[in-house]
Copies of this chain bind each other. A is one copy, B any other.
Amino acid sequence: MSPRQADTRQRALDVALELFAEQGYEKTSLREIAERLDVTKAALYYHFASKEALLAGIVDRLVEPADELVTWSQTQPRTTEFRQEYLRRLAALLQGQWSRWISFVQQNQPTLRDHTEAGQKMQSRLLLLCAPIIEPDAVLQDQLRSLLGLLAVYLGNLAPASAMLRSLGFEATPEELTVAAMDVALELVGERTSRRS
């Protein structure tokens, strides 16, 4: 492939991710993708054997950064400090490159469940991302608190989620929400004082 022009396969993955995230897999036709690429449908079929192969290609690329975070987390001790650092890294990712990843997953949850190959790959990563902050030996309530802490980070750092929160009457800027959510999250994943002694 020439250095000046990304090859069609890569561009197709970019365009398809954007369209799938925006309007969903089913509602996006190969014609539409081809038009944006300024090639024909048939040309697309040269690079991808099927529409499903396009989906699989996207999933493979999206799963990569998730695996990196999880790999890092496995080198760390499972302390409260680690869990808090983990949430901070997650927040940074959610604000950055992952906003697109989440849109894609949200928009295509039912679709992904059907295409078992791609769907299971995605789901396994979502579960792996939750696992590091859940203390296996903690009581069930504390495990749930940790998970809710993760959800708080999620709510505080994704544009659509914080838009929803504001329409619920949260009179705060997105930045204030992010700070407050991290505040609550860090508390939820922190050490427990003996609560029901």
- 1/0 contact string of A18-51 vs chain B (CB within 8 Å): 0000011011000000000000000000000000
Q: CB-CB < 8 A to A52: which residues of B?
A: none
- 1/0 contact string of A136-178 vs chain B (CB within 8 Å): 1000110111011001100110000000110111101000110
Band of interface residues on A: 35 or more
Given known contacts A24-B110, A110-B24, A127-B168, A147 and B155 CB-to-CB distance under 8 angstroms: yes
Contact call A140/B109, Cβ cutoff below 8 A: no
Q: Of B107, B130, B177, which is within 8 A of A140 by CB?
A: B177
Contact call A170/B143, Cβ cutoff below 8 A: yes
Residue of chain B at shortest CB distance from A27: B26
A97 part of interface (Cβ distance < 8 Å): no
Residues on A facing B (Cβ under 8 Å) = 23-24, 26-27, 106-107, 109-110, 127, 130-131, 134, 136, 140-141, 143-145, 147-148, 151-152, 155-156, 164-165, 167-170, 172, 176-177, 180-181, 183-184, 188
